[in-house]
Amino acid sequence: MEVFIQTLINGLLLGGIYAAVGIGLSMIFGIVRLVNLAHGDLMILSSYLILVITGSFGLNPYLSLAAVIPVMFIIGFIIQKYILNRVLGMGMEPPLIVAFGLSIILQNTLLLVFSPDAQSLETPLSIKSIPITETLSIPAIYFVGFLVGVAVILALQLFFQFTYLGRAIRAASDDDEAAQLMGINTGTTYAVAMGIAMITAAIAGALIGTTFTFFPHTGPTYLIISFGVVIIGGAGSMIGTLVGGFILGLAQLVGSHFFGSGYQLLFGYLILFIVLVIRPQGIFGRKERAA
């Protein structure tokens, strides 16, 4: 029984990390109505950038993150403003294809620049754990990831509700024309939104990089997790993403508890698929306008 409780704890904590991974995709999907297929790869890019900085300056990964955040913001801003914005109105295929293309370019450039060997961001936290009882413990690194994930989501929730920029973004997303009439430059607003999404991706990159190993082709794995989180919880909803993360993490670990580790990923997919069929807008999502 206790082993099962441990599984539940780990699943929940993992969910927090997954939420942090998916929030960027959720934002862009909910706000710009764009599926950023390169989301996972951009996150891994952050992990690699953090790796470079820790390697060159000997800082610990969380400090290096501080330097990487502005870089990722700029990258996101540029990608949205000069590439993605241009394909926004063109229907469904072009944004998908462009994002797909970016994903492939990123993966293979990382492959060329860094070796394909697995990397990880070193931190002593990765092997520590916080014991609760004799047989239960909380893996420290999962716990940190969980806290950070929840913090990021709460921060975003506050941002969107109480700051001008946040409300401008929501306005642009709700009604592009009306927002423009109110003096909001929607193109730049979207770019800023993407920049913010990239900040979350950078943070997620730090979490993932310290918790698990990564290599250039890891991106799509996390993209699927982001999809899971976003679809289960509902695009554009902060709380939804958090809940989606929990459900996904639990589904994976509980599934592997009962059916074996080989099927771990499968259970996540199963839940995702079921949600797609019965309630594609997710638990907290709003019903899509006929796009």
Partner 1 sequence: MNQGQEKPSTKNGITRRRFIKTTSVGATSAIIAGTGLPGWVRRAEAAKRDHILIGRCNPSTGSLAGFGEPSPLIDDKAVAIINKNGGLFIEEAGKKLPVKVKMLDTESDSTKAAELAARLILNDKIDIMIALHTPNMVNPISATCERYGVPCIGLDAPIEPWLPGGPYRWTYHAFWSVAQDFYPVCIGMWPQIKTNKTVGLVANNDPDGIGFGKVFKELLPAQGYKVVDPGTFPYGTRDFTSLINMWKKEKVEILFGNVITSDFVNCWRQCRQMGFAPRIATVARALLFPPAVEALGGNLAQGITTEVWWSPHHPFKSSLTDQSARDLCDEYTKAIGKQWSQPIGFKHAAYEILADTLLRAKTLKKSHIIKALADTKMDTIVGPIEYNDKHYSRTPLVGGQWIKGREFPWELKLVYNGEHPDIPLTGEIKPVG
Partner 2 sequence: MKSHQGWRLVLIAILVGALLSLPLWASRYVVLIFLLFGLHLAMAQMWNLLAGYTGLISLGQQIFIGLGGYSLAVLTVYYQLPIWLSILIGGGVCVLFAVIISFPIFRMSGVYFAIGSWIVAESLMIWFSNWDYAKKGMGFFIKAAYGVSLNQIYYSAILMGIGSVVLVFLLLRSKLGLSLMAMRDDEGASEGIGINAYRSKLACFLIAAFVTGITSGILYLNQVFIQPYNAFGIEWTVRLCFIVIIGGIGTIEGPIIGALIFVLLQQFFAEYASISLILLGVVSVLVMLAMPKGIIGTVQDKLAFEFLSPRRS
Report the partner that residue 253 touches, choosing among partner 2, partner 1, none (CB closer than 5 to 8 A by kind): partner 1
* 143: its two tokens: 């716990």
* Number of chain positions touching partner 1 (CB under 8 A): 36
Please report, as ranges, the residues that interact with partner 2 according to CB under 8 A: 35, 83, 86-87, 90, 92-94, 96-98, 100-105, 107-109, 111-112, 220, 224, 227, 231, 260, 262-263, 265-266, 269-270, 272-273, 276-277, 280, 291
Among 92, 111, 158, 274, binds partner 1 (CB under 8 A): 111
- Distance between CA atoms of residues 230 and 238, nearest Å: 10
Please tell me whether residue 269 binds partner 1 under the rule CB under 8 A: no
Stretch that binds partner 1, among 75-83, 167-175, 195-203, 252-260 (CB under 8 A): 252-260
Question: ∠238-96-148 over CA atoms, to 5°?
Answer: 25
Please tell me whether residue 221 binds partner 1 under the rule CB under 8 A: yes
CA distances (Å), origin 275, targets 40, 232, 248, 282: 21, 6, 11, 7
DSSP helix/strand/coil, 135: coil
CA distances (Å), origin 204, targets 72, 88, 163, 207: 12, 26, 23, 5
- Distance between CA atoms of residues 25 and 31, nearest Å: 10
Environment class of 118 (CB within 10 Å of its CB; exposed 0-12, middle 13-18, buried 19+): exposed
Report the partner that residue 124 touches, choosing among partner 2, partner 1, none (CB closer than 5 to 8 A by kind): partner 1
Cross-strand partners of 131: 137
Site for partner 1 in 197-216 (CB under 8 A): 212-213, 215
Residues of this chain that bind partner 1 (CB under 8 A): 3, 6-7, 10, 14, 111, 115-120, 122, 124, 126-129, 137, 139-141, 212-213, 215, 218, 221, 252-253, 256-257, 260-262, 264-265
